[in-house]
Amino acid sequence: SQKKLAALARRHNVWLLAGSLFLRRRQDHKLVNRGVLFAPDGQIIATYDKIHMFDANVGDGQRYCESDSFAAGTTPVIADIGDIQLGMSICYDLRFAHLYRQLARDGAHILTVPAAFTAVSGAAHWHVLLRARAIETGCYVIAPAQCGTHSDGRQTYGHAVIISPWGEILAEADDGDGMITAKIDLAKITAARRAIPSLAS
């Protein structure tokens, strides 16, 4: 899968975030939930192993215990993509504000949150949490999201969004497959952080 994704990045000359892939670590053979960022030349320039395991009961009849099968990551990751510093995270990480504050204080301009939120928790919390992370950090938030019913019966919420540093939803996908875009203006990050300098304290 990584070879195919690298080829796609090269073919279209784009930065490509694959978030996330289930991979086995070489050192101890444990599974990890890993985000992988490919450069336009197809090279992997950053990887991030999900830190917060999804062990929860959201009331949809499914049991979620990610820690039964996966090893948690330990290190926040910021990728350098030219003039932009990209803070990487995955799904359930979204509920842990301290991670995003650290990424922002370490220089992140954009926070990425690829996710497969459940239909139940997504409807209740997805937009609220993403907007909060943008507002708290003065960062753009880009959150691609899986949607629909999966082979095991699990339902995911979808609604991929791009959010401004002021917490405005700049673009949102409808239910079902789709693609969204938005213009990124780094000056808006500076303006948001000057207006509300909460990262300084």
pLDDT digits (tens, 9 = 90+) for 13-25: 999 999 889 999 8
Q: Concatenated DSSP letters for 31-47? A: EEEEEEEE-TTS-EEEE
3-class DSSP assignment, residue 125: helix
Torsion sign across C-alpha atoms 190, 195, 198, 201: positive
Check residue 56 and give its pLDDT.
Answer: 80
What is the per-residue burial (b if ≥16 Cβ within 10 Å, else e) of 81-117?
beeebbbbbbbbbbeeeebbeebbeeebbbbbbbbbb
Name residues of the chain where pLDDT drops below 70. 58
Q: Is the whole model's pTM more than 0.75, yes or no?
A: yes
- Answer for the pair 134, 165: CB distance below 8 angstroms, yes or no: yes
Check residue 55 and give its pLDDT.
Answer: 84
Check residue 40 and give its pLDDT.
Answer: 98
